[in-house]
A and B are shown apart, each in its own frame.
Chain A
Amino acid sequence: MAAPASGSFEALAAENEALWGFTKPQLIALGLMLVGILVAPAILYPIFLMKVLCFALFACAFNLLIGYVGLLSFGHAAYFGMGGYLAGHAAKAWGLTPEASILMGGLAGMLLGWVIGWLAIRRQGIYFAMITLAMAQMVYFFCVQAPFTGGEDGIQAIPRGRLFGMIDLSADTTMYWLVAGVFVAGFLFIHRVIHSPFGQVMTAIRENEPRATSLGYRAEHYKLMAFVISAALSGVAGATKALVFGIATLTDVFWTMSGEVVLMSLVGGLGTLFGPVAGAAIIITMQNYLAEYGAWVTVIQGIIFVLCVLVFRRGVVGEIGRFLKVRL
């Protein structure tokens, strides 16, 4: 890649990047987010915060696909839910430590993503979305029937266990730091992927797939790898959530969950680094306050969907970025 054009692009990119691929405004936002994560448990209810962080990781993983490869997956609940089931089963039936259980959840998401992604990348655009949705529904029906998921009851009373066999996680305040650690690691990993040479090719495929192919890149391989990474991280997020709440249920594999993660990324801003985090925080907060109104939550989520698509396509973080004339 010694072409002059790419050389000048790299010089330009280096000029904008302050540190580790972050631009200056992104570094400031990252600092604010980290301070927020450190301070928040002193002010807010830890269970709520852990829920936000799990969904934030889920939404970031989803956004890696839609925002940077341009693939709309409408079946991400499959990896999230299956990650939760596997982690719950590993922690409860096999007695694995929490970190091993979370890894099992990530592995489950990864393998499932490999199979479904391998099928889905054969088609593009809306067909891709429909295929991922249909395959996720198949996973849902599998979970309804499979013996280890506990059917309608789900897996209940999943023990949090001891981290590395030593640190007892049963206190919410201790568990919080594990969840925060998993989230930050996942967030930085996604950022690293986007700013690697691999990520540059991903973006090239999003912008112009035939051109990327004509330059010798095998677009299918890149799409599949991005899909697998996204699915694995979704599995990790689901696994962490299962450990936090001690329960893994059918709700997490149902298509409504796939819709929710789309909504979070859309509200925050597709293709922005911090958008999914903000979106997850907004949607989870809304659900918390509206929980007693039942089906109105669905109606309001639908209204937010419609508003975002019609008038607010950049999302919260995208709009802030545009206002400040920076990329966030």
Chain B
Amino acid sequence: MDEIFGIPAPLLFGQLLLGLINGAFYALLSLGLAVIFGMLNVINFTHGAQFMLGAFVAWMLLNWLGIGYWGALILAPLIVGAFGIILERLMIARLYKLDHLYGLLLTFGLGLIIEGLARNEFGSSGLPYRIPAELTGAWDLGFMFMPIYRGWVVIVAIVMCLATWLVIEKTKIGSYLRAATENPALVQAFGINVPRMMTLTYGAGVALAAFAGVLAAPIYSVNPQMGSNLIIIVFAVVVIGGMGSILGSVVTGFGLGVIEGLTKVFYPEASSTVIFVVMAIVLLARPAGLFGRA
């Protein structure tokens, strides 16, 4: 089992793993986008900046306050989520009655501000963030060495996605959320505070992005551009999957990560464009997206 399709097995499995890791971030981010869009009808362009902010808050917690990875994994999403709630209350909430496009433009502007401030404060080159001691090293799986941290990221991302799915599909608050997505006026008439639900939904979606940012900090170097490079790909993922289904966006995220990883092995020149090509093909065959409702 040294070669598969003429490709050395370690290379193939290594790229598959990288693909799964990228896919984990696509899944977490597109999930947050889908939840926010379902409730607020706003495409959160700031999502990439909030992902980056998660990584930076983790870095600041470590270097300024001495709080390590495990603390950051809980604190950073809370801090960035609270910041998201402030943004929603102060700005985004004013736009619900207007065309959706204004929400896109506003969050795009907010993303520019956050990214520019981060670049002023920390410069464009990346800051290092160490893998926590408990997760360093690698497992020997027989056919390849698996860095423990990378395996951890994939597993945590899957658990997080499932947890989000469970909350939305199986709990009472989730049923309120789904009902309010379908018909906010009716849900409000039943005495449920829909504006507050919208605020909390936005906060939760943003916290999810920040959580992904903390996960990403030890893998990618922590730099101001890490979010904006990712968010455009995540938009393509969202177009491919459609925003109708939670599990749909998770499956699409992981699937596209793997496709990207495989492309790196078999046709490296196309690895940066393959997701966009898939998007074009899906638009031709199923314009509503793989899991979307027309």
A residues whose Cβ falls under 8 Å from a Cβ of B: 72, 74, 119-120, 122-123, 125-127, 129-131, 133-135, 137-138, 141-142, 144-145, 255, 259, 262, 266, 294-299, 301-306, 308-310, 313
A-B contacts at CB below 8 angstroms, number: 121
Asked whether A266 lies within 8 Å of B105 as measured between CB atoms, the reply is: yes
The prevalent SS among residues of A at the interface is: helix
Asked whether B111 lies within 8 Å of A302 as measured between CB atoms, the reply is: yes
Segment at the interface with A among B9-17, B114-122, B177-185, B202-210: B114-122
7 shortest interchain CB distances as A-B pairs: A305-B109, A302-B112, A298-B116, A302-B113, A299-B116, A138-B276, A295-B119
B 61-97 contacts with A by CB, 8 A: 91, 94-95
Asked whether A129 lies within 8 Å of B120 as measured between CB atoms, the reply is: no
Segment at the interface with A among B133-141, B146-154, B234-242, B259-267: B234-242
Beyond the given A130-B43, A134-B236, please list 5 additional residue pairs across the A-B interface where CB-CB is below 8 A.
Answer: A130-B238, A141-B273, A296-B120, A302-B113, A302-B114
Assuming the contacts A126-B43, A295-B120, A309-B95, asked whether A255 and B232 have C-beta atoms less than 8 A apart, the reply is yes
CB contact between B104 and one of A126, A135, A299 (< 8 Å): that residue: A126
Asked whether B273 lies within 8 Å of A130 as measured between CB atoms, the reply is: no
CB nearest to B232 among chain A residues: A137
> In the assembled complex, how far is the CB of residue A111 from the closest CB belonging to chain B, in whole angstroms?
15
CB nearest to A131 among chain B residues: B239
Segment at the interface with A among B161-169, B214-222, B280-288: B280-288
Asked whether A295 lies within 8 Å of B116 as measured between CB atoms, the reply is: yes
- Distance, CA A119 to CA B287, complexed state (A): 9
Asked whether B100 lies within 8 Å of A125 as measured between CB atoms, the reply is: yes
Asked whether B279 lies within 8 Å of A134 as measured between CB atoms, the reply is: yes
- Distance, CA A279 to CA B210, complexed state (A): 35
Asked whether B91 lies within 8 Å of A294 as measured between CB atoms, the reply is: no
- Distance, CA A134 to CA B232, complexed state (A): 6
Assuming the contacts A130-B43, A298-B115, A298-B116, asked whether A135 and B280 have C-beta atoms less than 8 A apart, the reply is yes
> In the assembled complex, how far is the CB of residue B292 from the closest CB belonging to chain A, in whole angstroms?
9
Asked whether A122 lies within 8 Å of B287 as measured between CB atoms, the reply is: yes
CB nearest to B236 among chain A residues: A134
- Distance, CA A72 to CA B101, complexed state (A): 7
The prevalent SS among residues of B at the interface is: helix
- Distance, CA A255 to CA B108, complexed state (A): 11
Asked whether B109 lies within 8 Å of A302 as measured between CB atoms, the reply is: yes
> In the assembled complex, how far is the CB of residue A250 from the closest CB belonging to chain B, in whole angstroms?
13
Assuming the contacts A72-B101, A138-B276, A262-B105, asked whether A302 and B232 have C-beta atoms less than 8 A apart, the reply is no
Asked whether B109 lies within 8 Å of A303 as measured between CB atoms, the reply is: yes
- Distance, CA A313 to CA B94, complexed state (A): 13
B110 CB-CB contact with A under 8 Å: yes
B277 CB-CB contact with A under 8 Å: yes
CB nearest to A120 among chain B residues: B283
Task: List chain A residues, Cβ under 8 A from B104.
Answer: 72, 74, 126, 129
Q: Can you give 27 contacting A-B residue pairs, CB < 8 Å?
A: A72-B101, A123-B283, A129-B104, A130-B43, A131-B239, A133-B235, A134-B232, A134-B235, A134-B276, A134-B279, A137-B276, A141-B272, A141-B276, A294-B119, A295-B120, A298-B119, A299-B116, A299-B120, A301-B109, A301-B112, A302-B116, A306-B110, A308-B105, A309-B109, A310-B91, A310-B106, A313-B102
> In the assembled complex, how far is the CB of residue A67 from the closest CB belonging to chain B, in whole angstroms?
12
Instruction: Select the residue from A126, A266, A303, A310 with max chain B CB neighbours within 10 A.
Output: A126
Instruction: Select the residue from B108, B236, B269, B277 with max chain A CB neighbours within 10 A.
Output: B108
CB contact between B108 and one of A123, A259, A295 (< 8 Å): that residue: A259
Task: List chain A residues, Cβ under 8 A from B239.
Answer: 123, 127, 130-131, 134
Asked whether B106 lies within 8 Å of A306 as measured between CB atoms, the reply is: yes
Task: List chain A residues, Cβ under 8 A from B272.
Answer: 141, 144-145
- Distance, CA A306 to CA B90, complexed state (A): 11
CB contact between A305 and one of B100, B105, B115, B269 (< 8 Å): that residue: B105
CB nearest to A75 among chain B residues: B232
- Distance, CA A26 to CA B269, complexed state (A): 51
CB nearest to B238 among chain A residues: A130
Asked whether A145 lies within 8 Å of B269 as measured between CB atoms, the reply is: yes
Task: List chain A residues, Cβ under 8 A from B111.
Answer: 302
> In the assembled complex, how far is the CB of residue A247 from the closest CB belonging to chain B, in whole angstroms?
22
Assuming the contacts A134-B236, A137-B232, asked whether A298 and B112 have C-beta atoms less than 8 A apart, the reply is yes
- Distance, CA A266 to CA B273, complexed state (A): 30
CB nearest to B109 among chain A residues: A305
Asked whether A310 lies within 8 Å of B94 as measured between CB atoms, the reply is: yes
- Distance, CA A247 to CA B122, complexed state (A): 30
- Distance, CA A301 to CA B188, complexed state (A): 37
> In the assembled complex, how far is the CB of residue B195 from the closest CB belonging to chain A, in whole angstroms?
18
Task: List chain A residues, Cβ under 8 A from B110.
Answer: 302, 305-306
> In the assembled complex, how far is the CB of residue A65 from the closest CB belonging to chain B, in whole angstroms?
12
Asked whether A119 lies within 8 Å of B273 as measured between CB atoms, the reply is: no
- Distance, CA A306 to CA B269, complexed state (A): 38
Assuming the contacts A302-B113, A309-B109, asked whether A125 and B273 have C-beta atoms less than 8 A apart, the reply is no
- Distance, CA A138 to CA B281, complexed state (A): 14
B 197-256 contacts with A by CB, 8 A: 228, 232-233, 235-236, 238-239
Asked whether A131 lies within 8 Å of B283 as measured between CB atoms, the reply is: yes
